[in-house]
């Protein structure tokens, strides 16, 4: 079980999806586009350049994704779906909600920084909100919703917050960790991320 979870974590933050039958063209496109979006955001997605990177003709890429908006929406959707699977695996591995909350910053946003100082794809795209098509905005917002909902349930299960207050605290935790990742990425300093997480724990925002 632990080995499967580690594989899931590593594949998620490399922008890859486990595919036992081998990657098809659409999967290769999504994997490559995810890596680009993590490093350059929505604005960095160029379909013709992406086709060249994947080794297919532009017409083949447009067959799977008729527009940049369609591609970005698919990338963001897959990102939150994989994030949801990762969080579920974390819950099943530990069983202890308090331990899950302790692992959350490390197994989520820190992993992106460990992978070539990448940014969380959803956070990067959120910063480009005004330039995002509506179908992309919806998928990006879902990523935050998935994380907040998971945190809210974990806080309740650990008896750290009541059902009435858990959502508010979950949002504060999510926003704080996203901010820590942003600061660490801007300085290419993963130790800064760790220091900020330690400060959150010392302040009581995160469980020690």
Confidence tier at 157 by pLDDT (50, 70, 90): very high
pLDDT at position 18: 42
Q: Which CATH architecture has domain 2-203?
A: Orthogonal Bundle (1.10)
Mean pLDDT, range 91-114, rounded to an integer: 92
Look at residue 108 in the predicted model and tell me its pLDDT. 87
Looking at residue 17, its pLDDT comes to 52
Specify the length of the chain in residues. 208
Q: Is the pLDDT assigned to residue 86 strictly greater than 80?
A: yes
Average pLDDT over residues 153-174: 97
| Side-chain-side CA neighbours of residue 157 (13 Å) | 15
Residue 38 to residues 31, 67, 86, 87: CA-CA distances in angstroms? 11, 19, 17, 19
88: pLDDT strictly greater than 70: yes
> Rounded to two decimals, what is the model's pTM?
0.84
- Half-sphere exposure of residue 70: CA atoms within 13 angstroms, side-chain side: 10
Q: How far apart are CA 198 and CA 192, in angstroms?
A: 10
CA 157 from chain centre, in angstroms, equals: 23
- Predicted confidence band of residue 83 (pLDDT cuts 50, 70, 90): very high
Quickly state the pLDDT bin for 94 (edges 50, 70, 90).
confident
What letter does residue 154 receive in the DSSP assignment? H
Predicted confidence band of residue 24 (pLDDT cuts 50, 70, 90): confident
Closest CA to 116 of 47, 56, 35: 35
Give me the pLDDT at residue 95, please.
83
Name the band, by pLDDT with cuts 50, 70 and 90, for residue 4: very low
Confidence of residue 22 (pLDDT cuts 50, 70, 90): very low
Residue pLDDT, tens place only, 126-139: 999 999 999 999 99
Domain residue extents for the chain = 2-203
Task: Report the C-alpha gap between 205 and 197 in whole angstroms.
Answer: 9
Query: What average pLDDT does range 45-73 have in this prediction?
Result: 93
Q: Are 157 and 97 in contact (CB under 8 A)?
A: yes
């Amino acid at each position: 079980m632990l080995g499967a979870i580690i594989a899931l974590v590593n594949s998620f933050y490399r922008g890859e999806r486990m595919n036992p039958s081998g990657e098809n063209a659409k999967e290769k496109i999504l994997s490559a586009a995810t890596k680009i979006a993590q490093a350059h955001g929505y604005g960095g997605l160029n379909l013709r350049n992406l086709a060249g990177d994947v080794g297919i003709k532009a017409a083949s890429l447009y067959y799977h994704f008729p527009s940049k908006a369609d591609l970005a929406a698919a990338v963001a959707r897959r990102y939150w779906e994989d994030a949801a699977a990762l969080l579920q695996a974390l819950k099943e591995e530990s069983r202890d909600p308090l331990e899950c909350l302790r692992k959350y910053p490390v197994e989520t946003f820190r992993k992106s920084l460990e992978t070539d100082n990448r940014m969380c794809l959803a956070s990067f795209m959120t910063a480009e909100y005004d330039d995002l098509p509506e179908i992309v905005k919806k998928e990006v917002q879902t990523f935050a919703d998935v994380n907040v909902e998971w945190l809210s349930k974990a806080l309740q299960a650990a008896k750290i917050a009541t059902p009435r207050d858990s959502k508010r605290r979950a949002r504060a935790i999510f926003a704080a960790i996203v901010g820590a990742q942003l600061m660490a990425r801007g300085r290419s300093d993963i130790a800064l991320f760790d220091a900020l997480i330690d400060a959150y724990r010392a302040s009581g925002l995160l469980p020690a």
